[in-house]
Every structure is written in C-alpha cells, then in structure tokens.
Chain A
Amino acid sequence: MSATKLDSILEGRRSQPHMLIEVMLDLQDQEGYLPEDALKTVSKELGVPLIDVYRVAHFYKAFSLKPRGKNVITICTGTACHVRGSHLLVNQVRGQLGIEPGDTTPDGQITVECVNCLGACALGPIVVQNGSYCDHMTPGKLRKKIDKAAGKKKEAKDA
C-alpha cells in the first residue's frame, strides 16, 4: 500500500487513539483488507499498542486481515431473511463453491460473507454483490450470479 494513501487516511487523526476504528474502516474500504505493515504504522501514528490494534481488527466483522476476492458476495442472515430461506443461499454457496462463509475461493475470485441484517427486511432474502443490493434471492438466482462472477475470469482468459 502506498505511503501517500495511508498518509491521507491518517491526516488529522495522528496521536488520537479514539480514531482507531475510523482509520481502520477507511483502510479496509480502500484496500479491501488490513495489510500488516499498514497496521504497524497505524499503531505507531495513533499511539495505540499493537496488541490493541489487533484486538480491534479481530473483534469487528468489518475487518479482514486477508485480502478479499475480486467479488464480495454478502448474504444477509437476519431473522426476516432467515424465515424466507437465507440458509438455503448459504447451502447453495457451500455446494457450488466448496467454501464456508468468511472464506475466499482458492483462485481469489469470490469471497462469501454473511451479515446479520442489512435493514432491507421486507425484500429478503437479500444478497449484496460488490455494493449493489439484490432482493428476493433464491438459490437458483444466486447460482447464476456466482457463475457469472466466476465466469468473468474465463472470458478474460479466452480473450
């Protein structure tokens, strides 16, 4: 990660330990994960012991210490989505990609995550793909979506 990018995230926040979560959220949004070197810099610049930086990184679901896949697929498993069958979507992912929620496919194309409610409950089950919301999802629709996301790499290879 470039020093200037990290610099701009730290701008105006140095020596302010309470800014840790905001800084880390910006870092996560920027890089898609939290690089180890960046965290060491954050620890130094904000004045937070490194162990506490890692505690925060592991405590909150927003953070990932490993790089995420090119496509991030988030399945909502809140109550309203659950009663409409969100667990079937999770099963679909397991069967189709062979990974558990929280993991990334070996080829780095797709990361699957679960989230405990996005607040769009009347339209569930909800799946968010790279920031855009998809409503009334079914295992069939999800299968097509995943195929498309994985297929993009194939097309690029063939091209």
Chain B
Amino acid sequence: MLQYVNVTIDGAPVRAEKGTSVLDTAIHVGVCIPHLCHIPGIHDMGACRLCIVEEVKNGRSKVTASCTLLVEEGMVIRSNTDKILKMRKNIAELLVASAPNSKAIQDIAVRCGVKDVRYPFRNENCVLCGRCVRICKERAKANALGFIGRGKDRHVDHPPGRLMDYCNNCNGCIMFCPMSVTPCGGLMKKGEERLCGQCDSQLNADAQKMPGVCVWCELGKGFQCSRYLAI
C-alpha cells in the first residue's frame, strides 16, 4: 500500500512516494538536478555533492544532498537558487579539472554552467564516483571492488590476488563508469583550461536558459540518468 507525502519543489507542489529521495522525486517529475554518483535502485552515497539543494525549514535554509534526503510531509525544497547554482558550478569545475577528458564529466560541467576552468588540468583516470563499487556490491553481489585508502590516496581496487577470483564478469562496472563514455575529438590540454560547450549533447541555448528542466540531454542518454531508465 503506497503512501504519499506532499512536498514543494521550486515552488511547485509535488506528490511524492514515501521512502523516496528528493532527487528521485524531482527527476520523476521532470526537474533536472544534475548528479553523478546516483544510480536509480542503488543505495545512495551522497558523494559527488552535485545534487545539493536547499531545504527550507523554520525560516532557515540548509544545504544538503538531495539523493540522501528522504521526502517528508511539508518539505520545502529549492534546487536552483543562486547560491546552489554557484556551488554546483564550482563542484563541477573541480570535477572537470580532475578529469577533463571524460565526455560525461564535460557534459555535466557544461550543464552546470562551467566555461573557463580556473585550475590546472589533471588527467585522472577515476573520479571516485563510486558507481562501480556499489554496482558490484549491490547488483552483482560480488564484493570484488572497494574504495581503498583515504583522502588523496583513495582509489578503487580489489582485494589482493587476482581480480578474477572475486569478479563474476557482469561488466556492470564498465557500463556505469562515467570515464568509459567515448571522449570527444579534441583532447583537453593543460594551459587551455576551458570547455567549448559543443558536445554532442542536445544542449542548446534554450536549455541554458531553463536550468531546472529536463532537456533529455546526451549526458542522461549515455549515462543512465534515471529518467532514461524509467522509460
């Protein structure tokens, strides 16, 4: 027996299923809240912090990740205030500076309004979004992958020995990895820290003017945004 609560997202009243997250609810009704580490149906980590929103309670607003925030009766959420947009842009900028050659990350950055990147590019192979780890644990139930190390040393690895001892070859980790989406033609180089904004995405000038609305972007298509998976 499904239960529902009434919440307000960006001024609009929404009827949400109890037990779901604010992010899932928002995507379901077509509000775009950019996200990276979220995979529908998989336990949320709240790691990328792109999906942050403001929860307004008792006259004060608190910044929190919408993927780990469960809906409650009377909740008031603002997903695209100036403060939130600025922070989201800064976070996306950090991500793209770490992994400038990932098309998915480039898409996210453009979606969040990044043009010039103010940090020197690094070419990291992994952005530690945790998708592979959680897919391996929760869907494949193989426990072959995990986050090893702390802080700057954090990386994804398997227990010592051969990976094949633990892995069951479901390829889930590769499918869900944002780094495995084919990069665009021109490699991003150090010294030229900016985005051209012309990725294959269906991002166009209109989409830029409507930050909160789902535009069926290429990011979502190549990248399993839940709106696509829901279809």
Contact = CB atoms under 8 A, between A and B. Distances in A.
Contacts of B157: 54
B160 A52 contact: no
Interface string B137-149: 0000001111111
A58 B160 CA distance: 12
A50 B137 CA distance: 13
A115 to B, nearest CB: 15
Interface string B118-144: 000000000000000000000000011
Chain A interface SS verdict (over half): helix
A154 interface: no
B149 A58 contact: yes
B159 A58 contact: no
A157 interface: no
Interface residues of B, number: 14
B45 to A, nearest CB: 14
Contacts of A49: 143
A49 B147 CA distance: 13
B158 interface: yes
Contacts, number: 29
A66 B144 CA distance: 22
A51 B145 CA distance: 7
A144 interface: no
B150 A36 contact: no
B166 interface: yes
B146 A51 contact: yes
Interface of B: 143-150, 153, 157-160, 166
Given A51-B166, A52-B143, A54-B160, 12 more contacts: A49-B143, A50-B166, A51-B144, A51-B145, A51-B146, A54-B146, A54-B159, A55-B147, A55-B148, A58-B149, A59-B149, A59-B150
